[in-house]
Homo-oligomer: A and B are copies of this chain.
Amino acid sequence: MAHFDIQREKLEQATNILAEQDIDLWLTFARETSETPDPALNLILGQGVTWQSAFLVTRDGKRIAIVGGPDGGLIKETSLYEEVKTYDEGIGPVLRETVGALNPRKIALNYALGDVASDGLTHGMFLQLASIFKGTPYRTRFTSAGSIIAPLRSRKTPAERARMQKAIELAEEIFAIVGANLKPGLTEIDVANIAHDEVKRRGLTTSWDWDACPIVNTGPGVEVGHGGPTNKVIEEGHLVHLDFGVVYEGYCSDLQRMWFMRGKREQQPPESVRNAFAACVSAIEQARRKLHAGVKGWRIDEIARRTLTKKGYPEYMHALGHSVGMACHDGGPLLGPRWPRYGETPLRPIEPDSIYTLELGVGTERGYIGLEDEVHVTESGAEFISPAQRELMLAG
C-alpha cells in the first residue's frame, strides 16, 4: 500500500529528529481516534485506533506499537512497527514494562502550547499516562513532543512535495473553470457550487470544511473570514475573491485568487483597486525574498505587515503564512505576529523543506482583495510552487 510509504519515510525522519533533539523516546498515546484524533498518527500510522494505543519511537530507531487485541492485525499489516504488542484488559502493565526496558531519560508526549498539530494528546489521556507511570521514575520525564512533531511535519520529503504539487495543480484547474464562468448575477453560493462540482467530478475533497471551501467574497463590505459563501450577488465593477484548496492523496493545497468583474462602463478596475492589489503583491514579495530556513517567522510576517501599513493600508488580522501539508494548517513554526493566540509558534525558526502559504489582503470599495500562494522554503530561500497571482484577472 503506497499509503504507508509516507509513514515509513516519516518514521525514518523521526529517528533522526529524536537524535537532533536529544530525546530518547517519543510516545504517542491515543484512543478512539474517530472521536478525538491525534494529528501525529497521520505521520506515523496512517490510520486510526480504537482501544488505548501507544506508539513508541526511539532515538536508536526502535519502533514498538502496543494496541488493543482487535487492532493488532491491522497494525501488523502496516509493517511500520517491528514489534506489535497487544493487550486485552488494560494497557498499563505492558506499557510500563516496555518503557521500563527502554529506560528513557526523556519521554516526549504529544502536547504543545499553540501548535495544534503537536497537541493531539487529550488532558484525560495525559492524566492516564501520569497514573500508569505513578511511582516510577518516568512520571517526571515527560516533555512536549512539539520539538519532534513540528520539524517532522514541516520537513516535506520528495514524495510529500510531489503530492502537494499535484494538489496545487488540481486547485488551479478548478480556479480556471470558476474564472471562465464568472458573470454578474451569480451569487457567492453559485460560484461555490461551480467549484464543488469540479471537486466532485475529480473525486477529491476540499482542504477544509466543504461548506466554507471555497470561501467566496464579492463586493464591498466583506467581513473577511466570515465563513461560507452567501446569497450576495456579483455585480459589474466588483471584485470576486476565492480562498480554496483540495486534498490530493492526503495532502492539501491552499490558495486565493482574485477577479475583477468587467462591466459595460468599466473594462479595468479603478486605480484605487489596482494600487491596493499592487500593495498586496509587493508585501508578499518583500516577505518572500527574506524567507529561508532558520529565520524566525515573526520577522517575515513583520516585513509584509510593514510594507502594507507604510502604504497606508490597515494590517491584516491573521498570520502571513502557515505550513501546509496533511492539514491545511499544518502546525509548526508560523509566519505570524507575536500575538498571544499564536503562542510560541512565531518565535520558532522555519524548517528546511517546509511548504508555507504567503497570504494577506485589504478591503476596497469594490470588494476584498486577498492573495495567497505557496512557497517551498530551503536554506537558500523560498520559491513559489504555485503560479503566484501578480495581476487581477478580468472576468466577464
Contact = CB atoms under 8 A, between A and B. Distances in A.
A110 to B, nearest CB: 8
- Residue in A122, A208, A331 with the greatest tally of chain B CB atoms within 10 Å: A122
B123 A329 contact: no
A73 B226 contact: yes
B120 A113 contact: no
- Residue in A39, A118, A125 with the greatest tally of chain B CB atoms within 10 Å: A125
A340 to B, nearest CB: 3
Q: Is the interface of A mostly helix, strand, loop or mixed?
A: loop
Contact of A124 (B89, B119, B128, B225): B119
27 contacts: A34-B327, A35-B39, A35-B327, A36-B39, A36-B119, A37-B37, A52-B341, A68-B341, A69-B225, A69-B317, A70-B226, A70-B227, A71-B227, A73-B226, A73-B227, A74-B227, A90-B339, A90-B340, A90-B341, A111-B123, A113-B128, A114-B128, A115-B124, A119-B125, A122-B122, A123-B125, A128-B343
A36 B120 contact: yes
Copies of this polypeptide in the complex: 2
B91 A341 contact: yes
A126 B112 CA distance: 10
Interface string A218-229: 000001111110
Contacts of A90: 339-341
A356 B260 CA distance: 56
Contacts of A341: 51-52, 68, 87, 89-91
A118 B124 CA distance: 9
A338 to B, nearest CB: 9
Interface of A: 31-32, 34-39, 48, 50-52, 68-71, 73-74, 87-92, 109, 111-128, 131, 144, 208-209, 223-228, 317-318, 327-329, 331, 339-341, 343
A88 B227 contact: no
A36 B36 contact: yes
A222 to B, nearest CB: 11
Contact of A121 (B50, B123, B131, B223): B123
A70 B113 contact: no
A70 B90 CA distance: 43
Which are the 5 A-B pairs with shortest beta-carbon distances? A70-B225, A90-B340, A119-B124, A111-B123, A123-B126
